[in-house]
Amino acid sequence: MAIDTTPSQVATNALAALPFGNIIGGPLKACIEAQAMAAKTSWNFIQEVGLNTDPETGEKKTVNVSFQFIKDGRMAQLNVPLLTIVPIPYIAIQSIDIAFKANINASSSSSTVENESTSVDAGVAGSTSLNLGLFKINADFHANYSSKKDSTATQESKYSVEYTMDVAVKAGQDSMPAGLAKVLEILGNSLDVCDPSGTLEVNSLEFKGSPSEEFMLIATYKNRDGIFEPSKIQIPGQTGEVDGDNMIFRLPVVEGKTTSYIVGVSGIDKKVVVKTVDTYTDQKNRELARIEREESDKKRLADMQAAITQRRKSIDDQRAKDLAESQERVRKMEEEESREETKNAAKRQQPADQNGGNVRK
């Protein structure tokens, strides 16, 4: 009996009809959609947690966390962008493993059932007895015969189709995209430590010059949130001009005076005193005073030199007088000594002359 191939053809057709595109593409599509949802979740987190929208302008601004602490004995305030201190959820699918298995079973069999039965029944029955004096024996016997034949043949056709699919998706916290990492780096570099009441700075506390000059004062004010507010800077009696983050004032120099200007911030008790000094007039006065001192010193020096000269002259005259007197005394002493010697010599000569006269007599 020939085997029926219909089940095999049906199984082959069933294998060809399997939707492999949906079977393999379905999980991939689901993973792509999941990745898109994760990216959208990250973006929603950044918008809802890290950014605020200005209701007037619609601009987005970063949410900053501000806290105060003591630094170098003074109260300071640190402004930190929130996105730099909280982890941003950025989940990414790292690998997808799809395992597909299809089992198709086909079988064919034939079955034929034939039953043939032949039955022959024959029987013989009999009995006998035997008397042996005191004993009597009875015997019965029966005989039967039966015959039967059976045969079976079966034909069956079966097929089955089975397929299984295992999908393993591995996901985890991925590294930040280059753009987001750069944004976080910029935000990290924007960390600012400032005064809780704001910071007021000027380019100089003192300007020196002549009355014909004007000096440019550059003032900068940064509020407690680290934002420049130049329009709040003011000086009583002076008009400034905003230039970027700075307020520019032109301060004149008053002749012969040192003028103080108070730089303040509107609505805040924050002040800096700036001075302009007329160094030209002061220098002129100092120069005149110097000249007067020099003239006085010259006169005093001349008087001192004249006094010294007179003193020297007096000393020299006195020395000359003393020398002349000394010489006169010496001369007189010499003359006196000479006279004494002459007298003594005369005295010595007189006795000698008398002795000689006597001898001649």
Task: Kindly list the domain boundaries of the chain, sorted by start residue.
Answer: 6-184, 197-333
Nearest residue to 261 (alpha-carbon basis) of 239, 244, 283: 239
| All residues at 6 or more sequence positions from 255 whose CB lies less than 8 Å from its CB, including other chains | 211, 278, 281
Does this model's pTM top 0.85? My answer is no
Res 356: pLDDT: 56
Tell me the C-alpha distance between 53 and 211, whole Å. Answer: 52
pLDDT at 153: 52
User: Using an 8 Å Cβ cutoff, are 247 and 209 in contact?
Assistant: no
CA 93 to chain centre: 31
Residue indicated by tokens 């399997």: 18
The fold adopted by the segment(s) 197-333 is Immunoglobulin-like (2.60.40)
Residue 51 has what pLDDT?
A: 87
Rounded CA-CA distance 28/129 in Å is 100
- Does residue 104 contact residue 160 with C-beta atoms inside 8 Å? yes
Neighbours of 219 (CB within 10 A): 22
- Identify any residues that bridge with 252 across adjacent strands, giving them in sequence order: 214
pLDDT at 213: 86
pLDDT along the chain (361 residues), means of 10: 56 67 78 85 86 85 80 75 81 77 59 51 49 45 52 54 65 69 73 78 90 90 86 92 93 87 90 88 74 85 87 84 85 84 78 56 48
- How far is the C-alpha of 230 from the C-alpha of 26, rounded, in Å? 60
pLDDT for the residue 264: 93
Which ranges of the chain does DSSP label H, i.e. alpha helix? 6-16, 20-45, 178-189, 279-360
Q: Which of 235, 187, 148, 200 is nearest to 61 (CA)?
A: 187
281, 256 Cβ separation under 8 angstroms: yes
- Say if residues 138 and 129 touch (Cβ distance below 8 Å): yes
